[in-house]
Structure 1
Amino acid sequence: MEQAFFKDFDFTGFWNESSYSERDYTEPFPEEETILSVEQELGYQLPSSYIELMRIRNGGLVERSCFPAAEGTSWAEDHIAITGIMGIGREKTYALCGELGSRFMIEEWGYPDDGIYFCDCPSAGHDMILLDYSGCGKEGEPEVVHVDQEADYRKTVLAKNFETFIRGLKTEEYFDHE
């Protein structure tokens, strides 16, 4: 299958190769049946670019963990930080349908049911990254937004789509202004 997304993207140094990542994030490569059942459980069609990335590596901690934000968030004045990207599956704690996956954040933490929470943040649940379908419908191309529980679930738009978000992730050092 030819790659439609991330054609010229260099993944060198992108993923964090740790036992924690392997144990709690990285799912087996998703079969079509798994993708469809996860979409059905979550109630949204996953972006094609998300599925393609998960066929390269199905979730994990990332080294490029920061994304520029046009406005300040609870994390920083100029960016947000993520811990990892949830894989397509149910086995790992931090999988889309895992123990601490998207539905958990909606049902237990009260996050808005506007899409799929796919990245956790270093705040241990106090902010999350959402594939936001509120403007495109359940089968459209969602925006990527930061949702801040500490600010009454305020949304900050980060990227027009998933691929743009992944391409825009930077290392922490990029934001060290001191």
Structure 2
Amino acid sequence: MELRFFKDFDFTNFWSECSYSSKDYIEDFPNDEIITAIESELGYQLPGSYIELMKIQNGGLVNKSCFSITESVSWAEDHVAITGIMGIGKIKSHAVCGELGSQFMMKEWGYPADGIYICDCPSAGHDMILLDYSSCGKNGEPEVVHVDQENNFKKTFLAKDFETFIRGLRNEEEFD
């Protein structure tokens, strides 16, 4: 597969290979029909960089799971952490349309309906990573923000787009 995004990105050891990831996150590779159905269900056009990454592996836990921030959040003063990236699908519980996916977080936890919740965090629902379409519209290129349920669903800007977010993920040891 020729990459449009992530051209010089080293995916060696990017994904965590563990049974939890296989069981609850990793969906079959998405085809155009599945992508269109998921976009229709969610009401947003998925970013090209997200689709491309999901065609490499459709969801899962990651080894580089922290993103540096300059503004303190309930998780930490200098970073946010993710557990995994939700895949394009609805079969696995941690897929964007899965049992614990984006719509669940809005309906059951009261998260703002400003886009697609794409990454869960180690807090077990108390913070999430959002593809935020509130500035770009349903077909635009969403920003990536951290949404902090513990702080009245405060949004903290992380990256201008999904590719920039993925490129910014760092090892947890860098923040200890």
- Provide TM-score, normalisation by structure 1: 0.98
Deviations 1:92-111 (A, max 9, x none): 00000000000000011000
* Residue of structure 2 equivalent to 1:88: 88
Deviation at 1:6, TM superposition (A): 0.5
SS of residue matched to 2:28: coil
Query: Percent of counterpart pairs with the same letter?
Result: 73
Deviations 1:116-157 (A, max 9, x none): 000000000000000000000000000000000010000000
* Residue of structure 2 equivalent to 1:169: 169
Partners of 2:69 and 2:139 lie apart in 1 by: 26
SS of residue matched to 1:108: helix
SS of residue matched to 1:73: coil
Partners of 1:17 and 1:2 lie apart in 2 by: 24
Report 1:40-55 matches (<5 A). Answer: 40-55=40-55
Unaligned 5+ runs, structure 2: none
Deviation at 1:174, TM superposition (A): 1.0
* Residue of structure 1 equivalent to 2:38: 38
Unaligned 5+ runs, structure 1: none
* Residue of structure 2 equivalent to 1:139: 139
- Structure 1 counterpart of 2:128, which letter? M
Does 2:31 align with 1:22? no
Deviations 1:33-75 (A, max 9, x none): 0000000000100000000000000000011000011200111
Partners of 1:57 and 1:27 lie apart in 2 by: 8
* Residue of structure 1 equivalent to 2:62: 62
Q: How many residues align?
A: 176
- Provide TM-score, normalisation by structure 2: 0.99
Partners of 1:158 and 1:109 lie apart in 2 by: 22
Partners of 1:102 and 1:69 lie apart in 2 by: 23
- Structure 2 counterpart of 1:131, which letter? L
Partners of 1:76 and 1:15 lie apart in 2 by: 23
Partners of 2:169 and 2:100 lie apart in 1 by: 23
RMSD: 0.6
Deviation at 1:14, TM superposition (A): 1.0
Deviation at 1:2, TM superposition (A): 2.4
Partners of 1:32 and 1:15 lie apart in 2 by: 23
- Structure 2 counterpart of 1:156, which letter? T
Deviating beyond 4 angstroms after TM superposition, the runs of 4 or more aligned structure 1 residues are none
